[in-house]
Structure 1
Amino acid sequence: MAKGMGMFGADKGRSVQDYIDEMPVWADGTPVGYTPMTGMQWRIWWLAAFGKFFEGMVVFTTAVALPLISAEFGLGATEHGVIGAASLAGILVGALLLGGLSDTFGRKFMFVVEMILFIIFLVLLSVSPTYFWLAVFLFGVGVALGCDYPTAHLIISESIPSANRGRLVLAAFGFQALGALAGTAVGYAVLVNDPTVSAWRLMYAAVILPAAIVTVARFFITESAPWLFAQGRTLEAARETARLLYREPAYPHQVELATPAVGAGTPGHGAGASGWRELFTRRNRRATILASVPWFMQDLSTYGIGLFTPTILAAAFGHGTPIQHDVTDIVASQVLAAEGAALIDTLLIAGIFAAVLLADRVGRIPLQIIGFIGCAAGLLLAAMSHYYPDPGRTLLIFAGFMLFNFMTNVGPNAQTYLIAGEVFPTRVRGKGAGLAAATGKIGAVLTAFLFPILLADIGTTALLIGLALTSFAGAAITWAFRVETMGADLERLHQRAADDSLDTIAGAAREPA
């Protein structure tokens, strides 16, 4: 195995990322050629990945559970929209308020707190006595999941080598797609084995035990060393870096971090504007627009299609009826819709797999732009189905939705998440990523609430065309405010631009780290 110090030799006073990116050498002095991940780094990655899995599972379980909930509580169109939007509204609030707290209390602290909140509200959700409390508990679940948006990204990206950051962050994010597929599968399995209106409670309860296991495991990871360093807590940052990078044989042999320089942006060292206000300064305004606005455009369509695929399929194929009083009819209709949705959702997994392979090769910005255009093409393809009889109609709907799901995950659904955690300085990275996620969820909430109403008022075709136009707008905005961070050392990137605008960061990001 490797021996001794890596490419930095015995130099002292390096940054946290320098140590994380260090490549070891063999006993004969030959470089290994890559930076191997430690057990702690992989543990952090898996625990963050399961957080995304739970999000996809809970949010997309709602697509199967909604008709059963509606039947049990006798919901109208407005109440139906509230239930569909409740968890997304919670994600909005959680990302904005709780996610930003990771800049104050630390990544690890909020990483644990969010899972405790998630379990509490999940238990309450599964025993909801009324429509009102169901909406409240779904909102609470969403708050916990919203906190995970910035926190999970940051705790991974601030703990792993720069060269692997894109693919590993997106691989963890890809568990959202696996969770979406699992949510549909669990819903289907529960319906088949318990064909009653109250079966939706079991769908949500199935997540409680695995979530509890993940919560306990999160207590035993390291705190983000870059965050500690940005707080001026250099000795603690060095200790956590050594714990994060513990290997056999040991390298590095010791960790000695540079003392934060005046003007470096750490608290008490000339940081200038701080907190939420800093996101809108000249230096960070470009990042805020790039991270937030395309995410809003993307969530308008992704959550609309994701949450209501079963509903659209049922309506498109004539299985949906305005009112269904018979439990057998409701269950049978949702089983058919769940089967079709599961087939379409498999393309989410294919898309995120492609994103993992390409993010550190092609770059974030090209993939996001191409993905947006591909999403628009898929939506327009599905919209054209209105003008064709079966079997052409069925083929166009499935082809359009499958193309959309693939392109959204290879492009904007993955890249907006990745970009938001990279374009802000460490000290406000939680707030910046949280604001971006919250802005995206505004689009998701609007879609979840208005989609059933618009579906009834203007029809499927007009709605799909409208969503296609928002995808084209997302591509245009991404191009106008582009900043490529592929392979960049984020600490060095933002430090170099500390006294300049993000236009400098945009140029620096294209230079070798």
Structure 2
Amino acid sequence: MGQQAASILTVQQYLDEPPRPQAGRGRSAKTPIQRLIFFLASAGKLFEGLVIFMIGMALPLITEDFALSSAEAGLVTATSLVGILLGALFLGHLSDELGRRKMFIAEMVLFTVFLAGFTISPSLPVLLACLLGMGMALGCDYPTAHLMLSETMPTSSRSRTVLGAFAFQAVGAVAGATLAVVVLSMPNASVSSWRVMFGLVVLPAALVTVGRFFTPQSPHWLLTRGRVTEAEDALARILQVRGEKSAGVRLDALPASQRVSESYADLFRHDGSLRATILASAPWFLQDLSTYGIGIFTPVIIATALSDPFAEAADAQDSVSGVVRDSLVGAQGAVMIDLFLVVGILVAIHFVDRFGSIRMQIVGFVGCAAGLGIAAASAVVPSATMQTVLIFAGFITFQFMTNAGPNAQTYLIAGEVFPTSVRGTGAGFAAASGKAGAAITAFLFPTLLDGFGQTPILIGLMVCSLAGAAVTSRFRIDTTGKNLEVVHEVGQALPLTVEPDLYA
């Protein structure tokens, strides 16, 4: 490829059609650096699913260990989600200011340090502080990991790659439930076993932290900052086109008007940014109200549904034994149900390019509502066996549909509907909106469950799912399979009037 031809290509054009593919490797195949980025981004989502959902498994143990009230138990589950909200909102914004790579590393350092502190927490305040720190690190990972992937991958495989990494959130949920079952099945299991459950994650987190130091900076971001030579070097490293200059990477500097870093206020302009912000944020808020409420408290609800009155009587004089037993029963039931999170995300990865993220999000929201309705119907069935069947069927349907639809697609959409200069800020704001819904649910759920029972809560969450489908349909923007540089005019805000099929 000649120097003149190379100089007029954009970053994404190089990613879509490398100037010098390696022998035996097709243009669409990932390079070792792209595979490394995928693995490290996937690890972040795995840790989120593992830690957040394992808190649900460990909550009865932590409650007993620290003698917590219902309100304090709600605070434990909500604190990490508040941390995710703050991390996505404020640390995610720094990925636009300081660069994707710096925050990609920093967030995992914070996560590892606070995770280690969490396992040895001597009191509730220390435990809450560590949960907040872990949450902020995971919140930063929402926009940053997404952008590290979407800004280094070809257009043809971008959606599948991002969703492939996101799939590890579901893998983490299953892994967390499985880890809880293993630890709680040990002969010496006690209320302090939750420390062992989380402590086993510290070393893997430290290894992922080290790995992230070997990743390159996003060439898209470098170009928006006017750092052309660094962008060329980062792109060459990603594509493995080191060599003679004539076969190397050449990029043109962006005009100054396209290199201005945007602010939160720009997310609400009436030139299309507001539409993108609503689409990215409102459905995610509504989706997380349900997903985290069901996900975190599935073990509690399952343990209640499968409670054995004879075992409870035997444990009446030993509250510790009863707590461990109930936690184990809940964890075992959650493992089976959470497996459908994995099945759902596999369906999302397979069909996203065929049907588009918008259509899959709408169908997924409707399916979530159906699952919640099935679970709610258990309240009007007289047979205890049928009640249990309906609860399991409803939760399985919900877990499958949420990962095939809104839980996966909101993450994907939020990282694609904003231009490069504000992509971290916009995706972070959307993730923070979702975690606001998750934190509200987590904090209120224990109290509401005690005061009203599960049926009114399930009906309320069903209405939220239907509202999510309506908002997605009203503000739809379809970016699936489209070059984001073309969609956003290489850094400009998304206008209201663009290609007709963009809103199809």
Q: TM-score range by the shorter chain?
A: over 0.9
Q: What amino acid is aligned across from residue 469 of structure 2 in structure 1?
A: A
Which residue of 1 is the match for residue 285 of structure 2? Answer: 296
Which residue of 2 is the match for residue 360 of structure 1? Answer: 353
Deviation at 1:317, TM superposition (A): 3.3
Query: Following the alignment from structure 1 to structure 2, what is the Cα–Cα distance between the partners of residues 297 and 82?
Result: 21
Match of 2:178 among 159, 179, 185: 185
Moved more, 472-481 or 281-290: 281-290
Matches within 5 A, 1:154-193: 154-193=147-186
Which residue of 2 is the match for residue 39 of structure 1? Answer: 32
The structure with more helix, counted as a fraction of residues: 2
Deviation at 1:318, TM superposition (A): 4.0
Deviation at 1:247, TM superposition (A): 5.5
Asked whether 1:498 is paired with 2:497, we answer no
Secondary structure at the residue paired with 2:37?
A: helix
Query: Following the alignment from structure 1 to structure 2, what is the Cα–Cα distance between the partners of residues 427 and 492?
Result: 14
CA contact (8 A) 2:119 2:199 kept: yes
Asked whether 1:287 is paired with 2:281, we answer no
Render the CA deviation track for 1:111-161: whole Å, top value 9, x for unaligned.
Answer: 000011001101110010111211111111101111100000000000000
* Count of residues in correspondence between the two structures: 496
Query: Following the alignment from structure 1 to structure 2, what is the Cα–Cα distance between the partners of residues 438 and 231?
Result: 25
Secondary structure at the residue paired with 1:509?
A: helix
Deviation at 1:498, TM superposition (A): 3.4
Root mean square deviation of aligned Cα: 2.5
Which residue of 2 is the match for residue 223 of structure 1? Answer: 217
CA contact (8 A) 2:151 2:219 kept: yes
Asked whether 1:135 is paired with 2:123, we answer no
Query: Following the alignment from structure 1 to structure 2, what is the Cα–Cα distance between the partners of residues 331 and 428?
Result: 47
Deviation at 1:195, TM superposition (A): 1.3
CA contact (8 A) 2:54 2:176 kept: yes
Asked whether 1:253 is paired with 2:247, we answer yes
Match of 2:385 among 375, 386, 391: 391
Query: Following the alignment from structure 1 to structure 2, what is the Cα–Cα distance between the partners of residues 9 and 343?
Result: 58
Moved more, 282-291 or 386-395: 386-395
Query: Following the alignment from structure 1 to structure 2, what is the Cα–Cα distance between the partners of residues 125 and 306?
Result: 21
Deviation at 1:316, TM superposition (A): 2.7
Deviation at 1:254, TM superposition (A): 0.8
Deviation at 1:504, TM superposition (A): 2.5
Which residue of 2 is the match for residue 202 of structure 1? Answer: 196
Q: What amino acid is aligned across from residue 265 of structure 2 in structure 1?
A: R
Deviation at 1:27, TM superposition (A): 11
CA contact (8 A) 1:484 1:506 kept: no
Provide structure 2 residue ranges, at least 5 long, that are not aligned to the other structure.
none
Match of 1:15 among 7, 10, 14: 10
Deviation at 1:253, TM superposition (A): 2.2
Asked whether 1:117 is paired with 2:110, we answer yes
Q: What amino acid is aligned across from residue 16 of structure 1 in structure 2?
A: V
Query: Following the alignment from structure 2 to structure 1, what is the Cα–Cα distance between the partners of residues 421 and 251?
Result: 17
Q: What amino acid is aligned across from residue 7 of structure 2 in structure 1?
A: K
Render the CA deviation track for 1:15-67: whole Å, top value 9, x for unaligned.
Answer: 10010000679999xx9975221111111110000010011111111111100
Query: Following the alignment from structure 2 to structure 1, what is the Cα–Cα distance between the partners of residues 104 and 58?
Result: 28
Structure 1 residues 310 and 251: alpha-carbon distance in aligned structure 2, compared to 1, 3 A threshold? farther
Match of 1:380 among 364, 369, 373: 373
Structure 1 residues 312 and 502: alpha-carbon distance in aligned structure 2, compared to 1, 3 A threshold? farther
- Give the TM-score normalised by the residue count of structure 2: 0.94
Deviation at 1:196, TM superposition (A): 0.7
CA contact (8 A) 1:23 1:33 kept: no
Render the CA deviation track for 1:470-500: whole Å, top value 9, x for unaligned.
Answer: 000000000010000011111121117937x
Asked whether 1:413 is paired with 2:407, we answer yes
Query: Following the alignment from structure 2 to structure 1, what is the Cα–Cα distance between the partners of residues 338 and 491?
Result: 41
Asked whether 1:489 is paired with 2:483, we answer yes
Which residue of 1 is the match for residue 143 of structure 2? Answer: 150
- Give the TM-score normalised by the residue count of structure 1: 0.92
Provide structure 1 residue ranges, at least 5 long, that are not aligned to the other structure.
none
Q: What amino acid is aligned across from residue 11 of structure 2 in structure 1?
A: V
Which residue of 2 is the match for residue 277 of structure 1? Answer: 265
Which residue of 2 is the match for residue 507 of structure 1? Answer: 500
Asked whether 1:57 is paired with 2:50, we answer yes
Structure 1 residues 334 and 147: alpha-carbon distance in aligned structure 2, compared to 1, 3 A threshold? same
